[in-house]
Amino acid sequence: MSAIEMNVPDLGGPGEAEVIELCVEPGQMLSVDDSVVVVESDKATIEIPASGAGKVQSLNVSVGDQVKTGDLMLMLEPAEGEVSEKNDSDGGQQSNAQSALPETGQPTVSMPEPAPEPPARSEPARSGHELPGSPAKESMVYAGPAVRKLARELGVPLDKVTGSGPRGRLLKDDLEAFVRAQMEKAERVAGTLPEVKLPDFAAFGPVERAPMSRLHQATAKSMHRSWLNVPHVTQFDHADITALESFRKAQKSEAERKGLKLTLVPFLLKAIAYALRAYPQFNVSLDIERNELVYKHYVHIGVAVDTPEGLMVPVVRDVDCKNLWALAEELTELATLARDRKLKPDQMQGGCFTLSSLGGIGGSGFTPIVNTPEVGILGVSRSDWQPRFNGESFEPRQMLPLSLSYDHRAVNGADAARFTTLVGKLLGDVRRMLL
């Protein structure tokens, strides 16, 4: 039985289309309506089906070829009993199925066998030497052109996805479910990496093991998660707090009368609150799944507290609405509760930004880790006296190191520099906070 030509059908216009995918290979058995090639024009992606059943004798197109209506795609050796129709491009050849005139004088025609259904997704025809994820293997997947295009855009290997449509056909929902599953798997892996194999420390000398407290474990997991998920950048700066310290010390007697201790922290909180109002891009959280920024119209600031059990971060609410004395009183209460392990869950939730002050301990700067889903944290180190030029001469000034770490997905470097500059100006002259 002679082979028949299978040509490119009407593409809906005189222009050419590019072959972007081959769905068959020489020697493969085809059924009617099986996908042969996928072409892409400037208007649409078109999946060309087989117009007959049989074995592919030869392929006459390759990926990247430009084809038009009537071009030869492949030569097909028709299945036994298959009637060859006229070729659209050259007037066609006569079918090998001949009409017969028996003694009755009535013509009879051999009828083609019913075309088998397209192969199920789980059992596509393939050669025995294909590699997982190979183009030949993917071409056997039962999927439409829109799904194939989406898979190329997402970088999803079609042969790795299980179809939920009729006869195992792949749907867009299947691709989306596959991508979600891979992302969840990546998150689980990221949550356990990097893993470090420990040596036998006892081989080098005496050792002792002690269990990590639950607070220590929770802090370690939270910091690890934030560090893996947030692209951190740290902006360093200094604030001149010479005048502020003079004012603060002058309030010592008033603080004693109120039974309070006025530290630098309430001033820092007020300056941060002012800056958060001035630069609301720091008072947000990222919703990556919905591609949205969540802007918060309140100012709650977490304050890291060092306790014997580990780091705790109580949250001071509505900082912008409270005066220095109210903040000093609340900070004292929260710090006491933290050290006594008596903080309630709601007293550690709802923060918009975090302050981590190591000024009472030491250091000249550090890179604090963002407390996600917040996008910023200000680290403060110990102040010291430095010579500063005033335009005529050098004079001693008390300088406070600032370290602002931020999530670079939400905040750019220019805004971070503006933020620390504003905080420095506010601490340099607290009267600015009244403006």
Query: What positions carry a catalytic annotation?
Result: 408
For residue 279, give the nearest of 416, 166, 406, 385 by alpha carbon: 416
Q: Which residues contact 46 (CB under 8 A, 6 or more apart)?
A: 11, 17, 38, 39, 40, 145
Which residues contact residue 278 at a Cβ distance below 8 angstroms, ignoring those fewer than 6 apart? 422
Q: How far apart are CA 337 and CA 327, in angstroms?
A: 15
Tokens of 255: 């603080």
Cα(422)–Cα(246) distance, integer angstroms: 20
Q: Count of residues for the chain?
A: 435
| Helix residue ranges per DSSP H, 340-393 | none
Tokens of 193: 């990496």
As a whole number of angstroms, the distance between CA 46 and CA 57 comes to 23
Supply φ then ψ for residue 329, to 5 degrees. -65, -45
Burial pattern 192-211, b for ≥16 Cβ within 10 A else e, equals eeeeeeeeeeeeeeeeeeee
Q: At what angle do helices 265-278 and 324-339 cross, to 10 degrees?
A: 110
